[in-house]
Amino acid sequence: MNPEKTQDLKRLRRSLEASRRKLEPFRSRHRQAVEQYVGVYYSDDAADRPVHLNLMELASQIYERNLSARPPQALVFTRDRSLRPLGVKYERMLNEQLKDHRIHTQIQRCVKQSLLSMGICKVGVETVGEVEVQGYRFAQSQPYVRSVLLDDWVHDMSARHMDEVAYCGHRYRMRLSEARENKQFKKSVRDNLRVEENYNYNEQGGDERISTLSSGISRIETALEDTVELWEVWLPHEKKLVTLSPMESEPPLRVVDWDGPDRHLGPYHMLWFNEVDGNTMPLAPAMLWQ
């Protein structure tokens, strides 16, 4: 698979579309579980009948508090005595980083999503500025964690297990102006980016997105800025990250060689509880609670 070749890219896009269709029932079940979680008084688009005791919400809270009540902590050790002082400093630095409420919040979101369907997180390194050392300027970076909604997720549904998928990835939103000015994107493609208008449904008027539980009306009526939705796809065999625009006729915005840990799922980490033999989608606790 070479995403730079037209025929390979067309085949990849067809496969992505087919897998998204196969994921639609799981997205719908996830939405139904969220509707029961929020209850009838949350919004006009939530549950359709009241319950005196919301056991879905109660169970979610109990599990979430047991699984992610506090930020994780790291333990650094070494058999080399000369490196132990460095290990202690490294451990303190890691734990200070993990105290960042943004990391803990993303982990909690991932845990809650795993109870309703499947928890997905993307882990990477982002540039946060520049630092000057002895007259030289260097990019300053830090690790980040982002939870990914099942609404925005795709993986190879023809695989029997997650360690066999030929691709996986997620959809994300960014300001149209930023996308057009991003020099990491191919200029001929970013110049043709257009405002995304289908914010209420997945794929050509398919299932409703979870966000419509509270937004209700079209996002276009309330959006302050023009945005565009892009897809980032991980190809484990080629070890490449591909950024795709929503326009099927366009080449990739960006193709990046992977230089991270040697993992089949690359930057993505998943959490689920009940694996189903020969299937990539798990049996979520909420499916049984309902």
Residue 239, pLDDT score: 94
The DSSP output letter for 239 is T
Q: Could you tell me the two tokens for 189?
A: 């493609």
Cβ 268 vs Cβ 120: under 8 Å: yes
Mean pLDDT along residues 112-117: 94
Alpha helices in the chain (DSSP H): 6-22, 24-38, 55-68, 84-98, 101-116, 176-181, 187-190, 212-215, 285-289
The DSSP output letter for 46 is S
Residue 141, pLDDT score: 82
Angle at 50 between CA 45 and CA 51, to 5 degrees: 135
Q: Could you tell me the two tokens for 102?
A: 């943004």
> pLDDT of 7-60, one tens digit each?
999 999 999 999 999 999 999 999 989 988 888 888 877 777 887 788 889 999
Residue whose pair of structure tokens reads 């060689």 in the numeric block: 257
Which residues are bridge partners to 232 per DSSP? 170, 243
The answer on pLDDT for 217 being more than 60 is no
Q: Give the number of residues written for the chain.
A: 290
Please state, rounded to an integer, the average pLDDT across all residues of the chain: 88
pTM of the model: 0.86
The answer on pLDDT for 204 being more than 70 is no
Angle at 168 between CA 148 and CA 25, to 5 degrees: 70
d(CA 72, CA 52): 35
Q: In what order do the strands lie in the sheet with 168-175?
A: 153-155, 168-175, 227-235, 240-244, 254-257
Residue whose pair of structure tokens reads 């067309």 in the numeric block: 10
- Name the nearest CA neighbour of 271 among 35, 87, 91, 113: 113
From the CB of residue 106, how many other CB atoms can be counted at a distance below 10 Å? Answer: 19
Residue 244, pLDDT score: 94
Q: Could you tell me the two tokens for 194?
A: 């257009």
d(CA 33, CA 56): 8
Highest mean pLDDT among 147-156, 184-193, 218-227: 147-156
Give Cβ neighbours of residue 168 (< 8 Å, ≥ 6 apart): 153, 154, 155, 156, 233, 234, 236, 265, 266, 268
Q: Could you tell me the two tokens for 14?
A: 């067809």
Give Cβ neighbours of residue 98 (< 8 Å, ≥ 6 apart): 71, 72, 73, 74, 104
- Name the nearest CA neighbour of 282 among 24, 26, 48: 26
Which residues are bridge partners to 130 per DSSP? 139
Give Cβ neighbours of residue 111 (< 8 Å, ≥ 6 apart): 63, 64, 67, 68, 119, 271
Cβ 123 vs Cβ 275: under 8 Å: no
